[in-house]
Amino acid sequence: MTHTIRTEPLTPAAFAPYGDVMDAIGAPDKMINEGRCGRFHDRAVLDFADGEPGISIFKSAVAALPLEVSLVERHPLGSQAFVPMTQHPFLVVVASDANGVPVDLRAFITEAGQAINFHRGTWHGVLTPLHAPGLFAVIDRTSEGANLEEFRFDTPYLIKG
Amino acid sequence: MTHTIRTEPLTPAAFAPYGDVMDAIGAPDKMINEGRCGRFHDRAVLDFADGEPGISIFKSAVAALPLEVSLVERHPLGSQAFVPMTQHPFLVVVASDANGVPVDLRAFITEAGQAINFHRGTWHGVLTPLHAPGLFAVIDRTSEGANLEEFRFDTPYLIKG
């Protein structure tokens, strides 16, 4: 039997077990540029076991809900941040870990203006934009090395809006 | 007398002396996510003398052309990347260095889908979005330390579209 998961709005509190929500909500940490720009400072836990971080651009095909998810992955050697280069929401699937098995899947829908950072080792679904052009900047570990673990579910989860 | 500078389109070749243009133009370095996503891999020279990089969100007031620019700055301890979180163009002012003095100013207008990374120590104007909401993710050195040098011109430059 397929498990069904309802999407939730993405909030920093709800996402805290999995990573960071980066946005410009609330008061900036400081004003710069002669008061013209708010800096919301250092909002992601960048965490790399070794190697170097880099910035890559991802351009992904678009998905639609309801969506079957049968695969999640995690990166044991580093955190991974996704910054949308558009104002479109995207789908963020995460799971907790139980001795190497992803459990308790949750699905979040972002709002315009939210970027995310998966903490190192967090189970997550692959990048899932819901609108073209599916363009993101990704800040993750770019060095060589075994930094990808995948887990395939026997029975897919069905994500519903 | 005010110097007038005409804007140029931002291209990787024209911007090469100052930094990196990150986009999803051309062939991706690899396809991931079962062929659904192109990864344009490691497209910025991240360069930090010491300390740690982080991700911050900037929300800036908007400017319009023609625009007077009388101030540029540089960061001796690290590179600084700006990822627009919208599909709007923004203005990028840069200069060469002549013994500590910014010279030969140039002004670029980005296209939707372009992010930039200023190489460490490059003279540049402050973040200048041309459209609301002026929202960017910034990847730069977030540690404490003297990482800002400013230079104010006696006579402003006038940037024209």
Residues B120-140 have pLDDT tens digits of 999 999 999 999 999 999 999
ipTM tops 0.95: yes
Contacts of B38 (CB under 8 A, 6+ apart): A58, A59, A60, B24, B27, B28, B30, B31, B32
Task: Identify the structural domains of chain A with CATH numbers, from first to last.
Answer: 3-160 (2.60.120.480)
Q: What is the pTM of this model?
A: 0.97
Task: Encode pLDDT of B70-82 as tens digits.
Answer: 999 999 999 999 9
In this prediction, residues A47-59 reach a mean pLDDT of: 96
Residues of A with a Cβ under 8 Å from any B Cβ are 22-24, 28, 32-33, 36-44, 46, 52-61, 81, 83-87, 113, 115, 117, 126-127, 133-135, 137-139, 142
Residues from chain B that touch A80, judged by Cβ atoms under 8 A, are none
